[in-house]
Amino acid sequence: MDDSATAGEGASEPTEKRVDRGVSNREDRGVSGRDDHGLTTVEQWRPPSSALCARSAVGEYLGAGESLQVIDEVSRPDDGGTPAAVGLTGRRLLVVSPDGSFLDVGLDRVCSVRSDRQSYLGVRGNDYRLVLCVGYLFAIVGLVGVLATSTSALTPTVALTTVGGVLLTDHVYRAGVDLDGPIGALDRGGRAAATTDRLRRWKRRLNGHVTDDDLALGATGGFTAGTFLLVVTVEPGLLAPALTLATVVGCVLSVYAFRYSDAFDGIELVRRRQRTVRVTVEDGQVVTLCTNPESTLDRELARLAHGRSPRPAVD
């Protein structure tokens, strides 16, 4: 949809506003909601946060007797999308950036004001399946890479053992462990009974300082670190250890995505809307401002500039 406003002599209307058919009233008001077909979510326009900071600074640039007719937050696509605040007075347009720089355009220099309401699609949110796929990809590429680049037949086995050690350490960290169960399973009499007695005495001494979980974490973590150091020792280069780490990262990502799948929002298509105002001045410079689709900046600018510019309208 195209809204046009032209400032200059002979212009009968300072602005023209047309509304596309098929756009819901909810969207016209800039309120988030579903579109008419229910396929996308209409996302409400939000000003850049730094533009809100610059808004309070506009008043510092006003001269004696000047008052603001319109104040708005914008971004400047012709300046790398820099956020800014816009102040419109009866004789000039002020564009103030958060860093303190500003643009001053006298209304008597304005040749034309054009306004377009634009709508474009985007993606919002996250989905556990994406993280799961990334994890699978890392794990598969890492494992295949280890198999393809290893110089020792022992490397793939040790690399997989490292991955298993990481997952076991994660399980112990989350769920904890009771060492009395495994020790009791060894108690079958004879030499095993003597071993379990020694383990119980050793455990009782350590439990005065650490818990069963700490012991299990130390054991599994040390085992995992040892297997990874073995990969580094066996392989002459760093490629196989790096690929082993990639396999570990992939497995951890996959487990995380599956375990916390309910915490992900999911992905949805969103329709973002904005109004682009283009102000052409007498030297041919074009000032482009992106703002709220329901902003009145274009209409007020065209109204105030109408009759002040000595030049005819230029489209």
Under a CB-based contact definition with an 8 Å cutoff, are residues 301 and 5 in contact? yes
Whole-model pTM over 0.75: no
pLDDT band for position 75 (cuts 50, 70, 90): confident
Amino acid identity of residue 267, one-letter, is I
How high is the pLDDT of residue 81?
78
| Digit-coded pLDDT (tens) for 76-94 | 887 777 888 888 888 889 8
Direct distance between the N- and C-terminal alpha carbons of the chain, in angstroms, rounded to an integer: 17
**CB 267, CB 127: distance < 8 Å:** yes
With a cut of 50, say whether residue 291 has pLDDT above it. yes
pLDDT, greater one: 46 or 263: 263
Q: How many residues does the chain have?
A: 315
Give 274 or 32, the one with higher predicted confidence.
274
To the nearest whole percent, how much of the chain has pLDDT over 70?
69
- CA-CA distance, 119 to 25, in Å (whole number)? 15
Q: Which CATH topology does 2-125+267-305 take? A: PH-domain like (2.30.29)
C-alpha–C-alpha distance, residues 48 and 85, integer Å: 10
Q: In the structure, what pLDDT confidence band is assigned to residue 25 with cuts at 50, 70 and 90?
A: very low
Q: Using 50, 70 and 90 to split pLDDT, how confident is the model at 8?
A: very low
d(CA 82, CA 50): 9
Per domain, the residue ranges of the chain are: 2-125+267-305, 128-264
Q: Tokens standing for 109?
A: 């220099």
